[in-house]
Amino acid sequence: METTIIKIAGSVITDRKFGQPMLNWMNFGSIASQLKNYRDPYILIHGAGSYGHPLAKKSGIDKSVISNAQLLAFAKTQKMQNKLNCLICGSLIKKGVPAFPAQASSHAILERGRLVKMETEAMAGLIKLKLVPVSYGVPAFDSAWGSAILSSDQIAPYLAKKLGIKKIIEISDVDGIYTADPKINKKAEQIKNIGIDNYEKVSQYLSNNPSTTDVTGGIKQKYIELIAAAKFGVVVQIIHFKNLSKALEGKNVGTTIDLSN
């Protein structure tokens, strides 16, 4: 059985209410229910959403740790994202999924914001034991800056390459990639397939909201990371969270990136 990486955007599973981050129980509950009876091996990776980006952006820890205030923000952001991970793993365990927290920042090294080294042997061992490693984006040690954000967008391709995984399912709140933002443009058209002949053109349709609190580059950077994975043989499927079961069954939903031909 081939291992799959399932990556969930933090914006899908988190909200912010009364100034405080919170898990979007409705959205994640849907995802957890779809994973309940899935028995093939997989790694789950989730973004930070409201548990990480606002404080990281406000404190500047995405590119340095200098002051005492930044050191505290560095630690606090890690704590908040650990809390999110515990909520996610707890919800999955209640569904009968053997979710195992896998904190990436304790064994990862970045350099100028890029992941250059991360231990993967234990991750492979957990999969062999039929556990479900649940990793997540976090602030991490950066050899040049002191700290940077280890994005889930970087973790997924890194693990795929190191562990020989051939499929990444990217879970979003829209069903794939479109010619414009489908949330605000009714004329936006879904791009079903992205291949060697059109992947560069597709990037022109992607833009980020300048007011966003995302410190990891937004949709455009996500696409760059996914294309990098596709270039070393990984097939990427970008889907709406309600279509996870269909994607796991191999159905043609969302957008598929395949640069093999």
57 confidence band (pLDDT: 50, 70, 90): low
CB atoms closer than 10 angstroms to residue 29? 14
Cα-only R_g, the chain: 17
CA distance 127 to 121: 10
Strands 20-23 and 108-111: unpaired
Q: Where are the domains of the chain?
A: 4-257
Q: What is the pTM of this model?
A: 0.90
- Tell the CATH topology of 4-257: Carbamate kinase (3.40.1160)
Across 66-70, 105-109, 210-214, least confident range: 210-214
Tell me the per-residue pLDDT of 24-35, one tens digit each, with 9 for 90 and over: 999 999 999 999
pLDDT > 80? residue 17: no
